[in-house]
Structure 1
């Protein structure tokens, strides 16, 4: 009897171990290469990881890795195996596939295996002006004092736009940091400032809450000239904003490679869209992501993601399949 009891305990123990082994095998792990830890995009990655864990009941665990930027993310796509996910503007992935820019001289075969999953909040340009300065368009910035800041995407993009639209020598540039923009606008030290980020942008919310501001729209022709994507910020996003704002944006997309199996890509994509509303309640920038933003993806979408988009009836072009 003692021997039988021992055998029974061993069998039960082996069964428990087998169950633990099955559970461990059922758990899929994904690495998400994001951005610098202090950036909003790192926060987004952390939110994505939590939403994926919640939405899949822990079947998919996403580990977020800090990155020095999108170039590093794309570079690593050529050497990282398995379930590697990363964020990048589509134009950068396109450059990698073509062997241009930072990717010149590097083998392009692996970059050709990059596949899109879903869009995430874009870097959206905001031109914010005091409402009492008669600034209703980019042309009205002539003769005014504008703060661009230094070193950021928004500063570089803003400088490019001033030159692009013949305003470079007509605008007085304030030599202050962007962190001082709202205070400078309220004090009348500047007439407008330029910032880029996912909307609603915190500094624009702050500015609009404390005074009357105009967030400028760009014309379709101006947006086309920038070479960026169209972003529409709905009326009511900022205090006193009665109309939609049409502006330019740098799209950002979550990518994987063909090394990720179709079921994992499908589940990641479905979970993202299923959890997006809840994420938007906690962080408003997710509200700006819509199925229409799939149009900004250049190149192929992962077959697993395509399966979900077909089920959901989301718009996908033939060249993305």
Structure 2
């Protein structure tokens, strides 16, 4: 179903009970899934009277539209996707109501979506990004920003074009993981937080290699466009992060992205305040035993954020002494 058709089918906003919330995120194994499912679990455990229904299907672009229409209570927001939704460009070009829907959205915080882990088997003969020529490469799910970003990274760094110089695969995260393990995909890309359980799982049976970028490749216009855009950054996966499971003996330079948790502006301030407070208090208690969760911090909660914060989130952050940038305060 196209985005335009999906929007037409949304209908009127769904009613929700105070204790029950609908949340949408990306598929299991992705960083948004790990962060948002952990968000739901921590809040449920600490509050006791809150239940989340987590739907881990679809793309972030679709989720933003559904949240803007009141069909979702919480969703993964990405700065670049929000910019396009506000302007009605890119994947929203045929959705005339997208800019107005974007005005209904509010954010809770932002976190590193992940560092692009570009993975191949250690014995594949693929040692650099240039070697993906003629190979089968998983870019990301169809219609999602991950696939667009990965395609741009490869073309920017190497000049290789998807479906011309290599075979581009755009399928769901779970299907791609299985296809890589079965040998039907030569290169698997996933923006995930290190140390990523996904990468650890992939490398259980045999060692893998991470394909990074040289200084020259990082300086190309195409790659710079990815690191300089809203939510983009240069990222480093330190050598030794995955032990002997990854054969790289040096740090791997790659592209990173930021994402966040968004909600609908109509949710009451008190409810969002309780939820945000419960989450961050839960994070402080569990970070020591959950290495990847250490990437999610209060210090970085507003990094590159371009969606106004929900008043309930602002209330909590001001309560603990954080300075709220004027740019992320909601319009009066």
Query: Scaled by the length of structure 2, what TM-score is found?
Result: 0.66
Instruction: Work out which of the residue numbers 252, 260, 267 in structure 2 matches 1:260.
Output: 267
Aligned to 2:80: 91
| SS at structure 1 position matched to 2:68 | coil
1:80 is the counterpart of 2:84 = no
1:1-321 → structure 2 map (5 Å cutoff) = 28-35=18-25, 40=30, 41-42=32-33, 44-56=35-47, 58-65=48-55, 67-80=57-70, 84-100=73-89, 101-102=91-92, 104-106=95-97, 108-120=99-111, 122-128=113-119, 135=127, 138=129, 141-142=130-131, 147-149=136-138, 152=141, 156-168=148-160, 173=166, 179=178, 181=180, 193-199=187-193, 200-206=195-201, 210-211=206-207, 213-214=209-210, 216-217=212-213, 219=215, 221=219, 223-226=223-226, 227=229, 229-230=232-233, 231-234=235-238, 236-239=240-243, 245-278=252-285, 280=287, 284-290=291-297, 291-292=299-300, 294-314=302-322, 316-321=324-329
Larger relative helix fraction: 1
Q: Distance in 2 between matches of 1:212 and 1:37?
A: 22
Instruction: Give me the CA root mean square deviation.
Output: 4.1
Instruction: Give the total of aligned pairs.
Output: 285
Aligned to 2:4: none
Which has the higher Rg, Structure 1 or Structure 2? 1
Q: Determine if contact 2:112/2:257 at 8 Å carries over to the other structure.
A: no
| SS at structure 2 position matched to 1:294 | coil
| SS at structure 2 position matched to 1:163 | helix
Q: Determine if contact 2:111/2:300 at 8 Å carries over to the other structure.
A: no
Which range is displaced more, 294-303 or 42-51?
Answer: 42-51
Q: Distance in 1 between matches of 2:58 and 2:269?
A: 29
Query: Scaled by the length of structure 1, what TM-score is found?
Result: 0.68
